[in-house]
């Protein structure tokens, strides 16, 4: 099982999109500063996730979300899931 996830930095409210096979470990990884891209914006909160049976499907969805480059699109996705 794979997850596509959206994190939000509590420092500057920016978003980060990624995929993983273990969402809990990945969130810890980001919040421990072990990712070069996200370490300067700690702490991160998990705002959204989607589950996929295959890595391929998760990668396709992650790529789609990253291509949107729209804060409005991301926020609508997050808030429509609640």
Evaluated on CA atoms 28, 32, 35, 40, the torsion sign reads positive
Helices (H), 1-82: 23-31, 55-68, 71-80
Q: What is the pLDDT along the chain (82 residues), one digit of tens a residue?
A: 999 999 999 999 999 999 999 999 999 999 999 999 999 999 999 999 999 999 999 999 999 999 998 999 999 999 998 6
Per the structure, the count of domains in the chain is: 1
Could you write out the DSSP letters of every residue in 23-39? HHHHHHHHHTT-STTTG
- CATH code for the domain in which residue 31 is found: 3.40.1440.10
What is the span of the domain harbouring residue 51? 2-80
List CB contacts of 54: < 8 A, sequence separation 6 or more. 2
Q: What is the pTM of this model?
A: 0.94
């Amino acid at each position: 099982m794979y997850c596509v996830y959206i994190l939000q930095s509590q420092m500057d409210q920016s978003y980060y999109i990624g995929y993983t096979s273990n969402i809990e470990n990945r969130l810890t990884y980001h919040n421990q500063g072990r990712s070069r891209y996200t370490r300067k914006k700690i702490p991160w909160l998990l705002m959204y996730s989607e589950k996929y049976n295959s890595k391929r499907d998760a990668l396709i969805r992650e790529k789609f979300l990253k291509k949107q480059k729209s804060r409005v699109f991301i926020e609508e996705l997050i808030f429509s899931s609640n």
